[in-house]
Structure 1
Amino acid sequence: MTIDRRSFMAASLFTGLAAGEAIAQTAPPSDAGKSPPAGLPEPAETIDLWPKGAPGMPDRPPVEVVTERSAIAQVNDRSVTGTTRPRLVVFRPDRPNGAAVLITPGGGYRLVVIDKEGYEMARWLTARGFTAFVLFYRLPGEGWKDRQNVPLADAQRAMRLIRHRAKDYGVQPERVAAMGFSAGGHVCSSLSTRFDAKFYAPLDAADRLSARPFCAAPIYPVVSMDSAIAHAGSRDLLLGPAPTAEMETAYSPDRTVPKDAPPHFLLHAEDDAAVPVDNTVRLRAALKAQGVPVETHLFAQGGHGFGLRGTIGKPVEAWPDLWRAWARAIGLA
């Protein structure tokens, strides 16, 4: 992918007030009632997306709540709801390889998973030299104006801010990938197909940069808003209870693939009872029809939401290394 170097250099010069506001440190989502397991320190570095507050704030803003879902003391499985300050949580590798990954965890647009599809994946990536950014995006069912666009607006803004601050992280601005899980896979595939769509007014120099990922990896993703195969909960929270046919089309990434979409890595288990594998199959067909490079891995078993921890002892356990080999082959790392 080529980024307009003139735009990037111009954006990099504006590191005054706007950039300072954009990196205000709102703490990562955390649960004060439970300490993280030994050897897994909590991240502390964050980047706020919207320096003057997220657009479209509800009249009665939600309250951020972190819920621990694990009954095992040594294992965290937290989720967060009520995010009013969308932000990136940053994981820096000891030896950066110059590439970054924007991670959008899942949660059915009802919540955002913290550990299983966020921090665990980020730690795996940083151990291999990638700088990882976990995005805690706004949830469309929490009263936001323009509800259906808030997750994608956050993802676009996040991608631009990563590039705007690439030098701070030892990252080459061209080499920023996207990876998302479940409903976060919908955020990821929406970003990779509608990166040029305008969902918010530009704020600063960062917004002069491209939101197109270098490559995209929607993992067991929600894709289609077609009620025949859609994840019903995600569809309802994103589009409301009675979306029009036009809305279903606009918010189904398989129906919005441009010819300049980035290369894709697709992964799904055929026994996924929550999000039918046809979501990935349709996205693959749409990418192929537009001539977009795509690598697809379908596993017989794995279910839904396996992330890293749910793959142990199954063939799907190989998926992170398959992604890494693919990323290396296309020049990400």
Structure 2
Amino acid sequence: MIDRRQTLAALGSVMAAAAAGSARAQEPTPPARGTPPDPTEILELWPDGAPGAPATLPVERIEERSKDPALSDRAVSGTHRPRLVVFRPRKPNGSALMVAPGGGYVRVVLDKEGFEIGRWLAERGWTVFVLFYRLPGDGWAAGPDTPLQDSQRAMRLIRSRAQSYGIRRDRVAAMGFSAGGHVCGDLATRYDARVYAPVDAADELSARPDIAAPIYPVQSMRLPVAHGGSRKQLLGANPTPELEAAHSPENNVRATTPPCFLVHAEDDATVPVENSLTLRAALKRAGVPVETHLFTEGGHGFGIRGAAGKPAATWPALFARWAKSHGFG
């Protein structure tokens, strides 16, 4: 459980203890500013620790980056115990969503690309699971498949707990933002890739999302379309063309890829809109249903709060309406 009276100073002391060898202790998250309290329910992904750990585990740090005392903008780096934070609705409607926030594969942005959509959809009956995934540049043995290990395991774990959450196993969606959009796209196209050894009965279940929503996603690993920072963190400084192709979801789309919902701003100067356009083209070629919303303005990383007052502010409602057409909500 998270003690909401913890301060950033207390967080620092806990992290120092973790670095000294208390790796099993749960790191508290600094409390959110000016919002409802964070949920305290946490699901650990790996009962015996994440696979392929480096000799020295990364030290997890959660930083509050906001200058606005009314808004939180927390980001976590060095995740070594991947987990799901659970947003339970008052009355579950049977639908679940796993969310992978962005952060350029350097960090995981919790609030604007995780907890905000978690609250928004939980208010509408969805059970939402925000994924704290491991970062590929932290020395894990699976390298570029490290986030995919966590997203596959998360989907299987959610399905294994379906009855206790009041959700249906055939109504589990995935969403991701920016680099988390790559996590989402990689999962949607490589959900059955064997990237880890099964650890329990949950791993007998499918990791395939029933629908997927990569939002302004990092997708292509080929320059100049690729986001350079995410590409370097995922594949290294000088990846081969073969490695780039293997980790570009557009190249892994097939007829069994789930229906997709794409959102991008055409003025995105960080992750070019071509990422969504090339993914859409691949989905269309494979006969996979895809709905695409392109907005003239919005830039990058708008989430919910950054789209306020702009046409892009409609995207969460558009997603909910589209998901309903596929049996969700």
Q: TM-score, normalised by structure 1?
A: 0.90
Match of 1:159 in 2: 155
SS where residue 141 of structure 1 aligns? helix
State the alpha-carbon separation in 2 of the partners of residues 146 and 331 from structure 1: 35
User: Which segments of structure 1 move beyond 6 Å, counting only runs of 4 or more?
Assistant: none
Q: Deviations over 1:260-290 (max 9, x none)?
A: 1100000000000000000000000000000
Residue in structure 1 matched with residue 135 of structure 2 by the alignment: 139
Tell me, yes or no, if the aligned pair for 1:27 and 1:44 is still in contact at 8 Å: no
For 2:75, the equivalent position in structure 1 comes to 79
- TM-superposed deviation, 1:29: 5.2
Which AA in structure 2 matches 1:324?
Answer: A
**What code does the residue aligned with 2:246 have?**
A
Report matched runs for 1:9-28 at 5 Å: 27=26
In structure 2, C-alpha distance between the alignment counterparts of 1:204 and 1:153, rounded to whole Å: 14
Q: Match of 1:159, as an amino acid? A: M
RMSD: 1.1
Is the contact made by 2:34 and 2:69 (CA closer than 8 Å) also made in structure 1?
Answer: no
Q: Quote the residue 2:98 is aligned against.
A: 102
Residues 89 and 127, structure 2, Cα contact 8 Å, conserved in 1: yes
Give the drift of 1:37.
3.1
CA shift digits 1:287-309 (9 cap, x unpaired): 00000000000000000000000
Q: Gaps (5+ residues) in structure 2?
A: 1-23
Q: 1:194 aligns with which of 190, 194, 201?
A: 190
Which ranges of structure 1 fall in alignment gaps of 5 or more residues?
1-24
Contact 1:262/1:292 (<8 A) preserved: yes
Identical residues among aligned pairs (%): 59
Structure-2 residue corresponding to 1:148: 144
Contact preservation (8 Å) 1:50, 1:86: yes
Equivalent position of 1:7 in the other structure: none
* Structure 2: distance between partners of 1:267 and 1:159: 22
Q: Supply the distance in 2 between the matched residues of 1:209 and 1:48 (Cα, whole angstroms).
A: 17
Matched, 1:62 2:58: yes
Q: Does residue 226 of structure 2 align to residue 230 of structure 1?
A: yes
Structure 1 residue aligned with 2:317: 321
Matched, 1:204 2:200: yes
Instruction: Give the paired residue count.
Output: 306
Whole-Å separation in 1 of the counterparts to 2:255 and 2:178 = 24
- Deviation sequence 1:43-102 (CA, Å, 0-9, x none): 110110010000111111110100010011111100000111000000100010000000
Partner of 1:243: 239
